[in-house]
Amino acid sequence: MMENDKNNKSSLPEARLMQQILKARHTDLEEEKRLCKELLSVSEAEQYYYGSAFANVYLMDSQLSMGEYTSCDFYLLRAVFLCREYGYDDLMLVLCNNAGLYYQKLNDDQTALSYLLEGKKLAEKLGDITMLGKLYNNIGYSFGGRDDWESAGVYFRLAYRTVEDHLDEENKRSSISYLSNIAEACRNLGDLEGARKAMERCEELGADSAYSRVRLGVSWCSYYAMCEDWDKFTEMADRLINSDLLAVEDHFFICDMAESLCTEMLAACDEKRADRLLAIMDNLEYDNSLSLKYRIQCLKIRCWEQFGETDKLDQAYRDYYEIVKDVSAVEDDMRIQSMLSKIQINQAMHEHEEMVRNKRALENASQLDELTGLYNRRYFNKLLSKMTHKEDGKKLGFIMLDVDYFKPYNDFYGHFKGDDALKSVARVLKDNQMDGMYVSRYGGDEFVCLCMDLEDRDIEEYIKRVGRDMEAVAIPHEKSPGPKVLTVSMGYCNEIYRKGMDWEPVLNRADRELYSIKKKKRARIKN
């Protein structure tokens, strides 16, 4: 499909915005969102489809990361359409991973898995080791979320093995996450030895970031709890509560880790540390995320029930009721937004198809001669440029044609009749056209036929049929010194093509052959 010349992804003003978006997504989600909307506005104004696709992909990314799921569907559908329509595999790969995570959040495992597996194929096609690891890991999450820890462990191990020989800074961080997930799968299968080995490998890699220390620390806490080594359990938990958790900026990540740790505290009947973890989660800024509020509220209810905190439990249930009402309203809104998004996407697709049809019509019009409907000289030159890529040993030929005594015809019958005569010649040329022939109006009453990989006998047969059909049309030509009907003269040259060969001498030889034939015709008429 043809598109704006800007859609080659290189040296664009929009490239600056894309770089800023990729930087902001790791540090400032609101800034990522703002930059994406700016890129979308600029790209749509310029009909720069790659920029529009990029903006929609990362708008969905920012909404997903912030837990704002209501608009995810709209950006997802738009991004999918653009990426598939124009073959933006690099963006579709990112989108498949995010779509998998989105549908996991909605508990739609079938759709999530469909996107993740599509992403896996793209990652393999593009040779993107980092994304392939992430996709394997997220497939593992789908199984883990349904307590199929055996299958989850298989995919977590695939994720780690994919990147273990390519441990740059990003893959090193990812490896610690994959190994922590392997440890979780092992613990859930009762394989404490496997869990310990996975966590020891994490330590060998060096958990030097706050995120890595927290993730690994929570894994060790779960391991010590299963081993009933309460001294090490409380030592690690206190380090996380008092220091490491507070050093992380990502509130969603803190909530995930604190929730896991609080669950271990409930199992250990440690009310004091459970209360401190709930306080940490209460202090997080998550006003826009009902999903986080809901999870924290469920955890509070479990705590106050287990520890017999009646007053706190009554308030927790009242708060829970209000959150559930909000969640229900949001879910209804998400369903409505999803339907509206699909309607908008359907409308956008129709508008896009109409635009493409109009564009193709304009492109076709620019390729054709207005009078005859044959290719024009400009498009003929484009076709010739493609011939430089032909294989050695193939035939490349030209047939040159002009109308005999056309000026006297035009002067006597007038320009309108002259135009009609040229249309008739063009119709005969086109009706007899063979596969591998491209007929063009070269200018005035001259025509040229480009012949690709045709034998001389094919070209000679074509010339005979055109001459015969012109006689059959029998357009009167009172001013012709020869036959009193309109005739044409044709000459050709057909040669073996060699790579890098200059086609102009071949065309010139066809032109000389044409005028040689015309000269012989005139000589016969004089005699």
The domain that holds 411 is classified in CATH as 3.30.70.270
Closest CA to 458 of 435, 428, 429: 435
Closest CA to 284 of 262, 261, 251: 251
Q: Which of 340, 366, 392 is the last residue of a domain?
A: 366
How many angstroms separate the Cα of 486 from the Cα of each of 404, 444, 475, 476?
7, 16, 5, 6
Check: CB of residue 484 under 8 Å from CB of residue 476. yes
Residues 389, 299 share a domain: no
State the greatest distance between any 2 C-alpha atoms of the chain, in Å, as a whole number. Answer: 124
Q: Determine the pLDDT at residue 2.
A: 34
Tell me which residues of the chain have a pLDDT lower than 70. Answer: 1-12, 207-208, 285-291, 327, 330-365, 386-393, 499-500, 527
Residues 348, 420 share a domain: no
Q: Residue 229 CB: number of other CB atoms within 10 A? A: 14
Check: CB of residue 140 under 8 Å from CB of residue 181. yes
**pLDDT tens readout for residues 29-47:** 889 999 999 999 998 888 7
Residues 522, 381 share a domain: yes
**What contacts 361, CB < 8 A, 6 or more positions away?**
none
Residues 491, 361 share a domain: no
Check: CB of residue 384 under 8 Å from CB of residue 450. yes
Which helix (DSSP H) or strand (DSSP E) does residue 401 occupy? strand 395-403
User: Is 42 inside any structural domain?
Assistant: no
Nearest-angstrom CA–CA distance, 211 and 124: 28
User: Is 278 inside any structural domain?
Assistant: yes
Q: Which of 311, 335, 366 is the last residue of a domain?
A: 366
Q: What is the DSSP letter of 445?
A: T
Q: Determine the pLDDT at residue 512.
A: 94
Backbone angles phi, psi at 250, to 5 degrees: -80, 105
Helices and strands in the chain: count of H runs, count of E runs:
21, 4
User: Is 246 inside any structural domain?
Assistant: yes
Residues 384, 279 share a domain: no
Give the Cα-Cα-Cα angle 215, 218, 223 (nearest 5 degrees). Answer: 125
Q: Which amino acid is at 314?
A: D
Q: Determine the pLDDT at residue 11.
A: 41
Residues 518, 381 share a domain: yes
Specify the length of the chain in residues: 527
Give the SS3 label for residue 496: strand
**pLDDT tens readout for residues 442-451:** 989 999 999 9
Q: Determine the pLDDT at residue 358.
A: 62
How many angstroms separate the Cα of 19 from the Cα of each of 16, 124, 175?
5, 24, 25
Range(s) of the domain holding residue 433: 377-526
Give the SS3 label for residue 104: helix
Residues 412, 289 share a domain: no
Order of strands across the sheet that contains 437-443 = 437-443, 446-452, 395-403, 488-496
Check: CB of residue 169 under 8 Å from CB of residue 205. no
Residues 518, 400 share a domain: yes
Count up the domains in the chain and report the number.
2
User: Is 77 inside any structural domain?
Assistant: no
Nearest-angstrom CA–CA distance, 152 and 186: 10
Check: CB of residue 236 under 8 Å from CB of residue 217. yes
Nearest-angstrom CA–CA distance, 243 and 213: 10
Q: Determine the pLDDT at residue 361.
A: 61
User: Is 29 inside any structural domain?
Assistant: no
Q: Determine the pLDDT at residue 26.
A: 76
Residues 346, 279 share a domain: yes
Q: Which residue's entry shows tokens 């320009």?
A: 415
Give the pTM: 0.60
What does the DSSP assignment read for 178-209?
HHHHHHHHHHHTT-HHHHHHHHHHHHHH---S
Q: Determine the pLDDT at residue 203.
A: 86
Q: Tokens for 464, please give them.
A: 């005979």
User: Is 286 inside any structural domain?
Assistant: yes
Q: Tokens for 372, please give them.
A: 């005859």
What does the DSSP assignment read for 209-265?
SHHHHHHHHHHHHHHHHHHT-HHHHHHHHHHIIIIIGGG---HHHHHHHHHHHHHHH
Report the mean per-residue pLDDT for the chain: 85
Q: Determine the pLDDT at residue 348.
A: 60
Residues 328, 263 share a domain: yes
Check: CB of residue 488 under 8 Å from CB of residue 506. no
Give the SS3 label for residue 192: helix
Q: Which of 335, 366, 397 is the last residue of a domain?
A: 366
User: Is 190 inside any structural domain?
Assistant: no
Residues 385, 361 share a domain: no
Q: Determine the pLDDT at residue 523.
A: 84
Residues 432, 326 share a domain: no
Q: Tokens for 472, please give them.
A: 């059959």
User: Is 120 inside any structural domain?
Assistant: no
Q: What is the DSSP letter of 240?
A: I
Nearest-angstrom CA–CA distance, 167 and 213: 18
